[in-house]
Amino acid sequence: MTGALVVLGGGAAGMSAASAARRADPDREIVVLESTGHAAYGLCGLPYHLSGVVPDAESLVSYPPAFFRERRRIDLRLHAEAVALDVARREVHVRTAGGVERVGYTDLVVTTGGTPSRPPVPVPDGTAVHTVRTLEDAVALRALLDSGRVRTAAVVGAGYIGLETAEALHARGVRVTVVERLDGVLTTLDEPVAARVEEHVRVHVELLLGTDAGPVLAERRPDLVVLCTGVRPAAGIAAAAGAATGPGGALLVDDRMRTDLPGVWAAGDCVAPHHRVLGRPAFVPLGPAANRTGRVAGTNAAGGDARFGGVVGTAVVKVFDLEVARTGLTLAEARAEGVAATATDVTSRSRAKYYPGAVPLHVRLVHGAGGRVLGAQLVGREGAAKRVDVVAAALHAGLDVDDLAALDLAYAPPYSPVYDPLLVVAQAAQRELARVA
């Protein structure tokens, strides 16, 4: 008889894995070990709970634990932290309220996610310090905000979670300073595109770039410090057991999400899946890939057959009134990779020129040898999110600039000019390519 399938972590990847495993094998014993008191909730919604857009933290929970236990017959154990992995014995050492116990497995899926990097930022005594990584974090921070004791806050880090957090705190009437060590916001964008976001952020909150947080905190003594300084893969347990790691220390997996340890699969933020544009593994910790890699890992671990087609690095974020989106490679990323690339920039419109509400939409298209589409970045008050997905599809299909220019995209005055901004940028890229040919 096939023994237990154990999943480490009850986040997006873990619960997707467990549910997929149940579909692949209706009879298998499936155990999920989750270190916190919550499972299956939307981490991505945490900033919106802080701001009050999502008033009730419980509504971030996709399904309550009872759903998994009763409807899917998944043994979901909360407050159960895996502390070590014994691959030879196929056992996980698990810390619970009752001490450390051993849980045997036949197949193991590691979905331990990411951990916030916590740089050694000296924070003045008595200042509340938070991160935004778990539901518990958000509930605690929300309670502090609700208490009315926070008038000033410093958000350390101007990546997308830092900017979402700054927006949330600003919405709660807090005077916010964002402090970033690097010289720009959102370093996952090329500098000229990020500069547009930076300008917009400065309209709403104070932004200190190229600045060490320590002295600022010492001088300002804000009521609250929120550390949003990035995420590292929480790959420690599997790595300590000998699993191979790659970019950023994330676990290396094949297209079935198999690690190089026998009987061990992995998925979500703790892995570096195949990046289709780079042609190699990459650490791109985002929600859709966590769900999908989890599903693939769970299916295969339960004896089914599934493959993951890879990521192209598609992301979108709301920054105050802006939609900011990217997919594929930035020009800087392409060049760092040794890929010859060019960027074509246009500022078009989100709607027909005459239609009320038309706003500028900036598009940067990155293209390489032979006009191959390598990526895009879009910034505007509307229209970026819809269009980044078209470019993501183009990347999956391996389209070039001519293909992009030939796409039959939807048009109506409230949604787009008759030449969609993507067609405009593709045509501009064609002209540029013709000039250099």
Coil, strand or helix: which one is 151?
coil
CB nearer to ligand FAD: pick between 159 and 368: 159
Q: What's the min distance (Å) between Cβ of 381 and ligand FAD?
A: 18
- Number of Cβ atoms within 10 Å of the Cβ of 182: 14
List the structure tokens of 333: 């990323």
- Beta strand residue intervals within 276-429, DSSP E: 280-281, 315-319, 322-328, 341-349, 360-368, 373-380
Q: How far apart are CA 111 and CA 297, in angstroms?
A: 10
CA 344 distance to own-chain centroid? 26
Q: How far apart are CA 49 and CA 110, in angstroms?
A: 28
Strand order in the sheet with 81-86: 81-86, 91-96, 99-104
Helix, strand, coil proportions of the chain in percent (round to 5)? Answer: 35, 25, 40
Query: Which of these is catalytic: 4, 36, 42, 44?
Result: 44
Coil, strand or helix: which one is 6?
strand
CB nearer to ligand FAD: pick between 47 and 375: 47
Alpha-carbon radius of gyration of the chain: 23
CB nearer to ligand FAD: pick between 93 and 181: 93
Of 104, 101, 99, give the one whose Cα is nearest residue 86: 104
Q: What's the min distance (Å) between Cβ of 12 and ligand FAD?
A: 4
Q: Give the largest CA-CA distance in the chain.
A: 71
List the structure tokens of 418: 């008759």
Q: How far apart are CA 376 and CA 189, in angstroms?
A: 9
CB nearer to ligand FAD: pick between 235 and 404: 235
List the structure tokens of 293: 């890699």
Q: What's the min distance (Å) between Cβ of 17 and ligand FAD?
A: 9
Alpha helices in 241-365 (DSSP H): 287-301, 331-336
Q: What's the min distance (Å) between Cβ of 183 and ligand FAD?
A: 24
Q: What's the min distance (Å) between Cβ of 240 and ligand FAD?
A: 11
Note the residues at the interface with ligand FAD (CB under 6 A). Answer: 8-14, 33-36, 43-44, 46-47, 81-82, 111-114, 132-133, 161, 234, 237, 268-269, 285-288, 290
Q: How far apart are CA 5 and CA 302, in angstroms?
A: 7
DSSP 26-39: TT--EEEE-SSS--
CB nearer to ligand FAD: pick between 201 and 284: 284
Q: What's the min distance (Å) between Cβ of 418 and ligand FAD?
A: 31
Q: What's the min distance (Å) between Cβ of 201 and ligand FAD?
A: 17
CB nearer to ligand FAD: pick between 113 and 328: 113
Please indicate whether residue 270 is annotated as part of the active site.
no
List the structure tokens of 219: 């001088």
At 173, which amino acid appears? G
Q: How far apart are CA 140 and CA 147, in angstroms?
A: 11
CB nearer to ligand FAD: pick between 93 and 175: 93
Q: What's the min distance (Å) between Cβ of 345 and ligand FAD?
A: 25
Coil, strand or helix: which one is 433?
helix
CB nearer to ligand FAD: pick between 250 and 399: 250
State the catalytic residues: 44
